[in-house]
C-alpha cells in the first residue's frame, strides 16, 4: 500500500511538473473541447445550414474594421445574418464591433468602444469645426440614426446605450452627453442650439447660439418622438413620455410628459 501511495504521488508530481513546463498544452486542449462543444450545440440548434452560416459570419467578422476592406468583410458577414436587430450579434464576433458597409462615416475624431453596433443607413457627420464623437462599449445605433456636429459641438454616448431608428443628435455649439444604459426610442431629436430670430433678417442668415449642453443621465428612457432642447439635464433613471418637448431639467427617477414636459409622478410611487 505504501508503494502504491508513493507511486500515485510520483504520478501526480510528474503531471504537475509537465503542466508547469507546458501549460499551453492543457489550455489548448480545453479551448478545443469548448470549440467542439460550441459547434455541436449550434448544429443541434440550427442544423447544418445554421452551423455553416455561423462559421461564415465569424470568419468574416475577424477582418471587420473601419477601412475599405474591413467594411467589405462586414458586408460579407452580414450576408449570412438576419436583417435589422438580427445583426446585432455580429458586433460580438469582433472587439471592433459591427459597422455596416451601408453606414456613412465622415468623421476625423470618432472614438468607438468595444463591440459597438452601427446599422445600415446610420450617418455620423463632422461639420466644421466639429469636435469629437465618442461611443462607449456596446453602444447600438440603429437604422437611419444621424449624428452630426459642428461649431465646436460634441457627442458622447455611454456604454450599452441604444439609439433607435431615425433619431437625430445634432450637436452644434453645445454638447449632447448621454449616459450609460440609456434607451432612446425612435424618431427622437436632440438640439443643444437654436437660430437667432431677430426681426428683418432671414432665419437662414441668423447666427446659431446655444444656452447650454444636453445631458441625459444613466438608465434614462426617452420615449418615441421626444424633442430635447438646449440647457436640459434629464436625471438618472428618468422616463420621458412619447411626443414630449423637454425644455427644462427632469429630476432623477421622474416621469415627465407633455409640451413642454412636466413631471407627472416619480418612479416607484403610486
Domain assignment present for residue 6? The answer is no
- How many other C-beta atoms are found inside a 10 Å radius of the C-beta of residue 20? 8
- pLDDT one-digit tens code per residue, 204-247: 888 888 889 999 999 999 999 999 999 999 999 999 999 999 99
- In this predicted structure, the answer to whether residue 4 has a pLDDT above a threshold of 50 is no
* Cα 160–Cα 131–Cα 198 angle in degrees, nearest 5: 110
Domain assignment present for residue 171? The answer is yes
C-alpha cell at 130: 466639429
Q: Do residues 146 and 252 both lie within one domain? A: yes
Q: Do residues 41 and 86 both lie within one domain? A: yes
Q: How confident is the model at residue 36 (pLDDT cuts 50, 70, 90)?
A: low
Contact 243, 259 (CB under 8 A): yes
- pLDDT one-digit tens code per residue, 120-167: 999 999 987 778 999 999 999 999 999 999 888 999 999 999 999 999
120 sits in the region (left: phi over 0; alpha: psi -120 to 50; else beta) called beta
**Residue 48 structural domain:** 18-96
pTM above 0.75, yes or no: yes
Q: How far is CA 217 from the centre of its chain?
A: 16
- The H or E element spanning position 205 is none
Q: Do residues 121 and 57 both lie within one domain? A: no
- pLDDT one-digit tens code per residue, 166-198: 999 999 999 999 999 999 999 999 999 988 888
CB burial of 199-227 (b: ≥16 within 10 Å; e: otherwise) equals eeeeeeeeeeebeebbbbbbbbbbbbbbb
Give me the phi and psi of 130, to 5 degrees please.
-80, 145
Distances (CA, A) of 171 to 27, 127, 128, 147: 49, 10, 12, 8
Domain assignment present for residue 211? The answer is yes
DSSP letter for 231, please.
S
Domain assignment present for residue 149? The answer is yes
Beta bridge partners of 114: none
Q: Do residues 136 and 28 both lie within one domain? A: no
pLDDT (0 to 100) of residue 99: 95
Edge-first strand listing for the sheet containing 168-172: 104-106, 123-126, 146-150, 168-172, 189-191, 227-229, 245-246
Q: Do residues 129 and 59 both lie within one domain? A: no
Q: Do residues 81 and 205 both lie within one domain? A: no
Contact 155, 147 (CB under 8 A): yes
- Number of structural domains found in the chain: 2
- In this predicted structure, the answer to whether residue 25 has a pLDDT above a threshold of 60 is no
Amino acid at each position: 500500500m505504501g508503494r502504491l501511495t508513493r507511486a500515485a504521488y510520483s504520478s501526480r508530481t510528474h503531471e504537475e511538473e509537465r503542466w508547469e513546463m507546458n501549460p499551453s498544452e492543457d489550455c489548448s486542449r480545453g479551448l478545443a473541447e469548448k470549440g467542439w462543444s460550441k459547434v455541436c450545440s449550434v448544429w443541434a440548434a440550427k442544423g447544418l445550414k445554421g452551423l455553416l452560416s455561423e462559421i461564415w459570419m465569424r470568419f468574416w467578422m475577424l477582418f471587420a474594421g473601419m477601412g475599405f476592406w474591413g467594411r467589405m468583410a462586414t458586408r460579407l458577414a452580414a450576408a449570412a445574418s438576419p436583417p435589422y436587430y438580427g445583426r446585432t450579434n455580429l458586433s460580438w464576433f469582433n472587439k471592433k464591433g459591427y459597422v455596416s458597409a451601408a453606414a456613412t462615416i465622415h468623421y476625423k475624431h470618432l472614438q468607438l468602444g468595444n463591440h459597438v453596433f452601427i446599422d445600415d443607413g446610420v450617418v455620423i457627420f463632422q461639420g466644421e469645426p466639429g469636435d469629437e464623437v465618442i461611443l462607449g462599449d456596446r453602444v447600438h445605433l440603429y437604422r437611419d440614426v444621424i449624428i452630426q456636429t459642428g461649431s465646436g459641438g460634441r457627442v458622447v454616448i455611454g456604454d450599452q446605450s441604444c439609439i433607435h431608428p431615425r433619431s437625430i443628435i445634432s450637436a452644434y455649439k453645445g454638447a449632447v452627453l448621454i449616459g450609460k444604459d440609456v434607451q432612446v426610442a425612435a424618431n427622437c431629436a436632440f438640439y443643444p442650439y437654436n437660430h437667432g430670430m431677430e426681426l428683418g433678417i432671414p432665419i437662414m442668415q441668423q447666427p446659431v447660439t446655444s444656452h447650454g449642453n444636453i445631458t441625459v443621465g444613466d438608465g434614462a428612457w426617452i420615449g418615441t418622438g421626444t424633442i430635447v432642447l438646449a440647457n436640459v439635464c434629464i436625471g438618472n433613471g428618468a422616463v420621458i413620455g412619447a411626443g414630449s418637448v423637454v425644455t427644462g431639467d427632469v429630476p432623477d427617477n421622474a416621469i415627465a410628459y407633455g409640451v413642454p414636459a412636466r413631471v407627472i409622478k416619480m418612479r416607484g410611487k403610486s
